[in-house]
Amino acid sequence: MDAKKTLVMGVIGADVHAVGNQILNYAFREAGFNVINLGVMVSQEEYIEAAIESAADAILVSSLYGHGELDCQGFRDKCDEAGLKGILLYVGGNIVVGKQPFEEVEKRFKAMGFDRVFGPGTTPEEGIAALKKDLYGA
Amino acid sequence: MDAKKTLVMGVIGADVHAVGNQILNYAFREAGFNVINLGVMVSQEEYIEAAIESAADAILVSSLYGHGELDCQGFRDKCDEAGLKGILLYVGGNIVVGKQPFEEVEKRFKAMGFDRVFGPGTTPEEGIAALKKDLYGA
Amino acid sequence: MQLQNKKWTEEAFLAERQNVLASWPTGKGVDLDEAIEYQRGIAPEKRFQSKLDNAVKREVTLIQPRAGVPLIEAHIELLRYLENEGEADLLPTTIDAYTRLNRYEDAEHGIKESMASGKAMLNGFPAVNHGVEGCRMVTSSVASPVQVRHGTPDARLLAEITLAGGFTSFEGGGISYNIPYAKNVPMEHTLLTWQYVDRLTGYYEEKGISINREPFGPLTGTLVPPCVSNSIAIIEALVAAEQGVRSVTVGYGQCGNLVQDVAAIRALEQQTKEYLDRFGYKDCNVSTVLHQWMGGFPQDEAKAFAVICWGSAAAALAKATKVIVKTPHEAMGVPTKEANAAGLRATKQIISMLADQKMVEDTVLAAEIDIIKRETRCILEKTLELGNGDIAVGTVRAFEAGVIDVPFAPSRINAGKIMPARDDQGAVRFLDTGMLPFTEDIKAFHREKIAERAKNEGREVSFQMSIDDIYAISKSCLVGRPKK
Amino acid sequence: MQLQNKKWTEEAFLAERQNVLASWPTGKGVDLDEAIEYQRGIAPEKRFQSKLDNAVKREVTLIQPRAGVPLIEAHIELLRYLENEGEADLLPTTIDAYTRLNRYEDAEHGIKESMASGKAMLNGFPAVNHGVEGCRMVTSSVASPVQVRHGTPDARLLAEITLAGGFTSFEGGGISYNIPYAKNVPMEHTLLTWQYVDRLTGYYEEKGISINREPFGPLTGTLVPPCVSNSIAIIEALVAAEQGVRSVTVGYGQCGNLVQDVAAIRALEQQTKEYLDRFGYKDCNVSTVLHQWMGGFPQDEAKAFAVICWGSAAAALAKATKVIVKTPHEAMGVPTKEANAAGLRATKQIISMLADQKMVEDTVLAAEIDIIKRETRCILEKTLELGNGDIAVGTVRAFEAGVIDVPFAPSRINAGKIMPARDDQGAVRFLDTGMLPFTEDIKAFHREKIAERAKNEGREVSFQMSIDDIYAISKSCLVGRPKK
Ligand code: B12
Ligand code: B12
């Protein structure tokens, strides 16, 4: 593996679900990543600022409370505008309102510019495996 | 109300479900009927014999174990042949295999010549009310 | 043959075998020596006895569904589904109602009709008709041990074929597969046919093949007081052990009051061992099974899940070795495989969440265990007395005398003099103890319990209470209270 | 205003009201005298307080869902469905996430979008925007009492509008709607805003209108040890009572070990009364609520039903006054009304079947009640000490000092030094007691409990245990055991 990669992570919008965030933070560190964890209630701007400041390799957005689809709109464009063109963008959690077929949800979020979309019940290991693949090609 | 009406009842075929039968027996007696209860594992012939012997006003068939549709086939014809033309014929219980829409089941059993069809969870009171209507017009 | 509780001689057994195997063509397919070698090839993790013994040791509760369809392929598919999607630990093969009555011609017709129509025309798997090879296809196609579950007064041929067919457990007994499942079969007859089944099992055991036997605990499934079902389970265990059975799972159908249910399982386990010991069957392995509520279910599936879960909780807290699982379709009809698996998964969740929890024998639980044991002892000792020390002979006389009596049974040889009803906490007590040989203090205990309820409900003690209790769970309650 | 635990003068309260009502146009719609007369017209059976008091007296457990959609008609339809098809005894109105943050503009936008699209674009009912009349349409359209449920640090305007709108209970408190629901709101601030809510409630009470108040028991819903949530509930009860509240429902989120859950509810009830008495609030009515498991749920609906049922059983056996119900969709997203009603019906079935059963305080349960009470006393006494006898002031300092500490909270004003983990029976204990002011024997108790588990699992005591426990229930277990 190459040098330590840097991740910016947090829970977007007015969302206060903190448990998954704290566990992911711990798991990503344990897995050898450099993690900037912004905690809960993070705005798009805060992610982007932190990513620029830390020269991050990826932004990991969590949304649990149901407003994820609203909160994530335009995120990729904002990244592009801020000079983060092509930065790896993940989103995960209970990202829509209600129980919906995951395939459709995934499609919508991919169309919004997210590289990977993770549904309810995703384990930290799955996230780590994807990051290793996308960041180290492993 | 007129004179005591006579009912022949029992559980048809190879069926041993005895609980509902015992309760219906008790309830019909309490409601003032003259009841000939044949118990469980009753053949079509046994119902008919008992009905002729007692000059019954109605035959009440129970089936719980799932083979009701097979066991009831040709019952009305047998009644007709035995000289019980027009005798009131009820069937009730879990009369088919599996969970099926009641409307369809009812249609099939009515086509088989049953005057009334009662689904799972029928209370004795419902049976009694129907009998009073059909036998006393009340 | 004259009934007595004595191990059949090998000659008597082998002579009888010829008649049994001749009763239907597939009987010819059974070669006992070959069958024993076949069974010897079945790995321990696919055997009931070893999986149960292991569960007893680890104090965990295994889960098992009921399921059976007429055709072999469909049945294999069903069992695999329940194992994979239902997370079942133990598998069943429920036998159809014709086979239970030895009506193999009708079963054959049902198989043909099912093939022709592509629909299940029998309510179970006709194992006799499918023969040894058909059974082996089933038992060898799944990863878990498979048991025969039925309700057959004369199950001799069924046992011959299924044990040769690789099943490693066989449910039933001379009492428990007669009284709830037959109208007019003499008790001597079923005790003899089941001695045959036990002797066959014992024969395998002698050759080093342990086959599990399971008396059917719930009987009529409807307000059966624990002492009644426990007494019958213990008798069937004793009779089986005499014929050489060494792995017995005694069963109980959940009544619904947690303390009583846990007490019933504990009392059952303790007294089964006590009686087996007393009669010298010291090397018999005992495990227990709790059946989730066996009476009328609510029609609503969410409510049915609740009944299922409450049964699971009772099993887990009692540390029953296994639990037999109902489905959300129970009140409606034979379940789809999806409904069956859903019942299993709900059960698994409860069992796992409660795996490390246990009810401690504090005063209340201890008192309940005590009363069940005392009642059971009254019944068993009187039965032994009636048989002059022979429990099999005593059983025949006990039924004649109403000393053993099962509520709401279809059988005419059952006295039908007792009447159960719930007390104010929902435990099943006696409204009428009939001819049960109880001591005066036990009778008084029940009178007081029922009177207490009647008082709280502001009504007289009457049969209406029992009726209300029969409907209660399907109407969301445990105790059938009068309408306000 | 300077924070202290002292009833606000009427002048101070009325002065503050002007600012509150001016913060959004619908505030003008509140006329306190008219509102009191309106509330006086609400029949007792539609009032939380009387329905709860009655349930306390009869020792029954009422059931209540969570539910809220943005538009008035749809919300009424939803509540009626839950009342009729779900058999709910008490109704909720869950408030959307924008309103919780006083972002009424965003809520307005959400209402418009919902109208335009015909879909729910907010995750709850924006009661402030709908105003007094909108609320009255809701509360007058259903047969059951309706409560406001939210998670709002500053709920002053929400309280004004909803109480005038005919709601008869209001959830939340200065601690319980701050620490789990906010990132950076000072404790002084929320204690003050919630004193306002309590003072408003007390004002109604003075006029003879009893409004029920309910501290939010489960906090972060994730392995919260009973002493932590009980301490917070008791503080919020004391603070509310000082402002004149006379009907308090203290709450607790199920942990999963039956003995601990029953003990927690009993301890909570007893100590709330004890502390209220001690500080002279002798006429305050106390009831209890158990929340079905508030942490991560299994995705499978059958398994989710099992979690729901186990929570219902705990509530029933603890004789909690009410139980807040989850749905089979919990792990996936906001439930459909059908899923919500299914959770309610399963709950009702369990509650009814267990209505007449109760856990007796035998030795094991008594010991668990005792440990919870001793822990809670440590926290409360230290908090009082820090505030020189003033519980409100003490609370601010207790959070600074980590004397009160909530696990996994998003709030930065929470110390976050404690770490919970389950013991070998699944009870929630402390892996790390942080700065909690426990006596040495209590600390030793927890060390031993965790060590016992570690030993049985053959691993070192570590944070990994807590992580495994967080996932355990969603993976079917209670204790997160290491993989074999
Ligand atoms: C208790 C029970 C048993 C007991 C019966 C004991 C006994 N001998 O009585 C035991 C355990 C022995 C048993 C065995 C079997 N059972 Co069973 N049993 C039940 C159960 C749980 C309750 C039945 C009951 O007593 N209900 C209470 C009484 C009061 O209600 P009831 O019987 O429904 O009768 C009332 C109404 O139906 C109505 N009614 C009935 N007949 C009539 C007629 C008229 C004219 C009217 C007006 C009304 C009416 O009024 C009655 C009084 O209110 C039901 C499922 C359920 N309902 O929850 C399954 C059920 C009936 N059994 C079933 C089956 C398949 C069997 C078995 C074949 C297989 C097995 N599981 O082992 C064997 C059958 C053996 C045989 N040859 O018959 C199936 C039937 C499937 C189907 N129809 O699709 C059911 C539905 C369970 C299921 N979902 O699989 N069973
Ligand atoms: C605990 C909980 C709460 C607690 C949160 C405490 C806290 N501050 O943390 C409390 C009670 C306060 C709460 C409040 C609310 N909640 Co809540 N809550 C839950 C619950 C039960 C568990 C969440 C949890 O901690 N899970 C455990 C952790 C470990 O898992 P996780 O959060 O899912 O995170 C994992 C994965 O999702 C994944 N993941 C997450 N993000 C990402 C990102 C990437 C890149 C990757 C790879 C993976 C990944 O990895 C994480 C670790 O494994 C869920 C339902 C559930 N899951 O069972 C509802 C749930 C999330 N809540 C919900 C809602 C609606 C709310 C409220 C709006 C309303 C309410 N019920 O009061 C408020 C929200 C307030 C707000 N402004 O945010 C809904 C969301 C609905 C939807 N999406 O359709 C849910 C799904 C419940 C439901 N079915 O209604 N909640």
Average pLDDT estimate for B53-76: 94
pLDDT for res C414: 98
Q: Do B121 and C299 touch (CB under 8 A)?
A: yes
Q: What CATH number does residue C219 fall under?
A: 3.20.20.240
Whether residue C467 is predicted with pLDDT greater than 70 in this model: the reply is yes
**B19-31: per-residue pLDDT in tens?**
999 999 999 999 9
Band (pLDDT 50/70/90 cuts) for residue B78 is: very high
Does C297 sit in the ligand 1 pocket, CB within 6 Å?
yes
User: What is the structure's pLDDT at A2?
Assistant: 57
CA C46 to each of CA A95, B72, B122, C240, D15: distance values in angstroms, whole numbers, following the listed order: 43, 42, 43, 23, 77
Q: What is the DSSP string of D440-464?
A: HHHHHHHHHHHHHHHHHHTS---HH
Do D223 and D136 belong to one domain?
yes
ipTM of the complex: 0.96
pTM of the full structure: 0.97
Question: According to the model, what pLDDT value does residue B2 have?
Answer: 57
Is residue D107 domain-shared with residue D180, that is, in the same domain? yes
Taking an 8 Å cut-off on Cβ atoms, the answer to whether D408 and A19 are in contact is: yes
Q: Which band of pLDDT confidence, cut at 50, 70 and 90, is reported for residue C126? A: very high
Q: Which of C353, C369, C390 is the last residue of a domain?
A: C353
Q: Which atom of ligand 1 is nearest to the CA of B96?
A: 83
- Ligand at minimal distance from the CA of A26 is 2
How far apart are the CA of D66 and the centre of ligand 2, in A?
15
> Do residues C242 and C194 make contact, with C-beta atoms less than 8 angstroms apart?
no
Catalytic residues of B: 15, 17
Asked which of D328, D353, D378 is the last residue of a domain, the reply is D353
Cα of B19 from ligand 1 centre, angstroms: 8
Distance CA D30, CA C270 (A): 69
Residues on chain C touching B99 (C-beta within 8 angstroms): 329, 332-333, 335-336, 339
Question: In chain C, how many domains are there?
Answer: 2
Indicate which ligand has the atom closest to the C-alpha of D335: 2
Residue D119's pLDDT band (cuts 50, 70, 90): confident
Concatenate the DSSP letters of all residues of D246-304 into one string: -EEEEEEE--S-HHHHHHHHHHHHHHHHHHHHHTT-TT-EEEEEEE---SPPPSSHHHH
What number of CA atoms fall less than 13 Å from residue D46's CA on the CB side? 14
Chain D partners within 8 Å of A100 (Cβ): 333
Residue D400 lies in a domain: no
D 342-381: CB under 8 A from A: none
pLDDT at B97 over 90: no
What rounded mean pLDDT belongs to chain C? 97
Residue of D nearest to C258 (CA): D357
D346 and D473 part of one domain = no
Nearest to A121 by CA among D180, D224, D303: D303
The reported pLDDT for the residue numbered C116 is 92
Answer whether residue D402 is part of any domain: no
Residue whose Cα lies nearest atom 25 of ligand 1: it is B19
Tokens of C265: 């399982």
Please count the residues of chain D: 484
Check D306 against C347: CB less than 8 A apart. Answer: yes
- Mark D218-249 as b/e (b = at least 16 C-beta within 10 Å): bbbbbbbbbbbbbbbbbbbbbbbbbbbbbbbb
User: Across all residues in chain D, what is the average pLDDT?
Assistant: 97
Residue C425 with chain D: CB contacts under 8 Å? 356-358
pLDDT per residue as tens digits for the range A17-50: 999 999 999 999 999 999 999 999 999 999 999 9
Query: Does C427 share its domain with C346?
Result: no
C299 CA distance to ligand 1 centroid (A)?
Answer: 13
State whether residue C326 is helix, strand or coil.
coil
Interval C427-453: pLDDT, tens? 999 999 999 999 999 999 999 999 999
Instruction: Quote the mean pLDDT of chain B.
Output: 94
Q: What is the pLDDT of residue C343?
A: 98
C410 vs B16, B100, B120: nearest CB:
B16
Q: Are B68 and B93 in contact (CB under 8 A)?
A: yes
Note whether C332 and C461 are same-domain residues: no
- Chain B residues touching residue C299 (CB < 8 angstroms): 120-121
Dist CA C125 CA C132 (whole Å): 13
D129-146 residue pLDDT tens: 999 999 999 999 999 999
Same domain for D347 and D463, yes or no, is: no
Establish whether residue A118 lines the binding site of ligand 2, counting it when its CB lies within 6 angstroms of any ligand atom. Answer: yes
Q: Is D33 on the interface with C (CB under 8 A)?
A: no
Nearest to C281 by CA among C322, C242, C247, C236: C242
Tell whether C349 and C477 lie within a shared domain.
Answer: no
A14, D47, D67 from D95: Cα distances, Å? 14, 20, 9
Q: For residue A70, is pLDDT > 90?
A: no
Q: Is D294 on the interface with A (CB under 8 A)?
A: no
Is D476 within a domain?
yes
pLDDT at residue number C361: 84
Dihedral class, residue C250 (left if φ above 0, else alpha if ψ from -120 to 50, else beta): beta
**Which one-letter DSSP state was computed for residue B137?**
-
Confidence band of B98 (pLDDT split at 50, 70, 90): confident
C342 contacts in D (CB within 8 Å)? 301-302
What is the pLDDT at residue D437?
A: 98
Which ligand sits nearest to residue C304's alpha carbon? 1
Tens of pLDDT, residues D247-276: 999 999 999 999 999 999 999 999 999 999
C330-334, D63-67, D448-452: lowest mean pLDDT where? C330-334
Residue C394 forms part of a structural domain: no
Residue that wins the pLDDT comparison between C239 and B3:
C239
Range of the domain at D430: 417-484
pLDDT of residue A85: 94
CA-based nearest residue in chain A for residue D97: A14
Confidence of residue D56 (pLDDT cuts 50, 70, 90): very high
Q: Give the model's confidence band at D361: pLDDT under 50 very low, under 70 low, under 90 confident, else very high.
A: confident
D309–C contact, CB cutoff 8 A: yes
**Chain D touched by C84 (CB under 8 Å):** no
Does D362 score more than 90 pLDDT?
A: no
Structure tokens that stand for D268 in this block: 């909570």
pLDDT score of D258 = 97
Are both C147 and C235 inside the same structural domain? yes
Interface probe, candidates D334, D413, D414, D419, chain A, greatest A C-beta count within 10 A: D334
CATH of residue D423's domain is 3.90.970.10
State whether D341 and D426 are in the same domain.
no
Contact between A62 and A11 (Cβ < 8 Å): yes
Whole-number pLDDT of residue D425: 97
Task: Among D102, D408, D483, pick the best mutation site for testing chain A contact (most A Cβ within 10 A).
Answer: D408
Which residue among D256, D310, D346 places its CB closest to the CB of C313?
A: D310
Question: pLDDT digits over C260-274, tens only?
Answer: 999 999 999 999 999
pLDDT for the residue C104: 96
What's the pLDDT tens digit per position in C7-29? 999 999 999 999 999 999 999 99
Shortest CA distance from D424: residue in chain C: C356
Asked if residue B21 has its Cβ within 6 Å of ligand 1, the reply is: no
- Across residues D354-359, what is the average pLDDT? 94
Atom number in ligand 1 closest to CA C149: 72
Looking at the domain assignment, is residue C392 inside a domain? no
Mean pLDDT of chain A: 94
With CA atoms as reference, the chain A residue closest to D474 would be A121
Q: Token pair for residue C178? A: 């007669």
If you average pLDDT over residues D103-110, what whole number do you get? Answer: 93
Question: What domains appear along chain B, each with residue ranges and CATH number?
Answer: 6-136 (3.40.50.280)
pLDDT tens sequence across D69-91: 999 999 999 999 999 999 999 99
Selected residue with higher pLDDT from D252 and B136: D252
Which ligand sits nearest to residue C329's alpha carbon?
1
D367, part of any domain? no
Mean pLDDT to the nearest integer, D43-51: 97
Of D301, D357, D478, the CB nearest to C353: D478
Among protein residues, the one with the nearest Cα to ligand 2's atom 67 is A65
Q: Is B61 helix (H, G, I), strand (E, B) or coil?
A: strand
Interface test with C, best of D60, D309, D340, D474 (most C CBs within 10 A): D309
pLDDT value of position C162: 98
Measured in angstroms, how far is the CA atom of residue D294 from the centroid of ligand 2?
10
Decide: D253 in ligand 2 pocket, CB within 6 A.
Answer: no
* Residues of A acting as catalytic residues: 15, 17
Ligand 2 in contact with D222 (CB < 6 A)? yes
- In chain C, whose CA is at the least distance from the CA of B101? C332
CB–CB of B68/B34 below 8 Å? no
Please say whether the dihedral angle defined by the alpha carbons of residues B20, B25, B26 and B32, taken in this order, is positive or negative: positive
Considering only CB atoms, which chain D residues are within 8 Å of C358?
A: 425
pLDDT of residue D272: 98
- Partners of C62 in the beta sheet? C322
Residue C63 phi/psi, 5-degree rounding, is -115, 145
Regarding whether C346 and C421 lie in a shared domain, the answer is no
Inter-chain CB proximity D349 and C307 less than 8 Å? yes
Cβ distance of B66 and C334 shorter than 8 Å: yes
Same domain, D84 and D167: yes
- How many angstroms does the Cα of residue D29 sit away from the middle of ligand 1? 60
Query: Where among C307, C331, C353 does a domain terminate?
Result: C353
Nearest Cα to C55, choosing from C405, C349, C362, C319?
C319
In short, whether A10's Cβ falls inside 6 Å of ligand 2 is no
Which residue(s) pair with B89 in the sheet? B59
Report if residue C150 sits inside a domain.
Answer: yes
Share of chain B above pLDDT 90, in %: 88
Q: Is A138 in the pocket of ligand 2 (CB under 6 A)?
A: no
Instruction: Tell me the pairing of strands B58-63 and B88-93.
Output: parallel
Lowest mean pLDDT among C355-364, C384-393, D58-67, D347-356: C355-364
Same domain membership, residue D220 and residue D84: yes
User: Is D139 a domain residue?
Assistant: yes
What pLDDT, in 10s, does the model give residues C364-390? 999 999 999 999 999 999 999 999 999
